[in-house]
């Protein structure tokens, strides 16, 4: 289980741990308004995705609690969801293992994250 602070998730974010099998992302948004949480595959040296980029966002998204699943946006390389105020969670099962540091975790506001 890994815990990420708001400071780690702000700005350019923080690299992921290894993600294999079903993982639950538990997010806490202490602000009264909405925030955003994003997981994005690290881009190449030119700032793009190419044929060698890992497709880390492919997989199954399920078990949304406190999050409107209709706000989830995904591609092969990125997923993003709107977070309401308070605690919320969802489950992500990647299609293939996500290597350590191959994606970045980011959030707006003072959001914290626990991956279990």
User: What is the per-residue pLDDT across 52-88, written as a single tens digit (0 to 9) for each?
Assistant: 999 999 999 999 999 999 999 999 999 999 999 999 9
Please tell me the total count of domains within the chain. 1
Confidence band of 35 (pLDDT split at 50, 70, 90) = very high
Is 16 a residue whose pLDDT tops 80? yes
Is 1 a residue whose pLDDT tops 80? no
User: Domain span at residue 53?
Assistant: 2-115
Which residue blocks in the chain are alpha helix, DSSP H? Answer: 6-9
Check: CB of residue 111 under 8 Å from CB of residue 1: no
Q: Measured between alpha carbons, how far is 68 from 45 in angstroms, rounded to an integer?
A: 34
Burial 60-72 (b: 16+ CB within 10 A, else e): ebeebeebeeeee
List all residues 6 or more positions away from 48 whose beta carbon is below 8 Å from its beta carbon.
Answer: none
Q: What is the DSSP letter of 114?
A: E
pLDDT value at residue 54: 94
Average pLDDT over residues 95-101: 95
């Amino acid at each position: 289980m890994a815990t990420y602070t708001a400071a780690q998730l702000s700005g350019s974010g923080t690299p992921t741990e290894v993600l294999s099998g079903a993982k639950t992302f538990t997010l806490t948004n202490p602000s009264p308004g909405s925030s955003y949480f994003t997981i994005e595959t690290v881009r190449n040296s030119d700032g793009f995705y190419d044929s060698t980029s890992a497709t880390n966002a492919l997989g199954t998204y399920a078990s949304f609690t406190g999050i409107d699943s209709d706000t989830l946006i995904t591609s092969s390389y990125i997923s993003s969801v709107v977070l309401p105020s308070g605690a919320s969670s969802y489950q992500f099962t990647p299609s293939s293992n996500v290597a350590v540091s191959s994606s970045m975790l980011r959030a707006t506001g003072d959001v914290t994250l626990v991956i279990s």
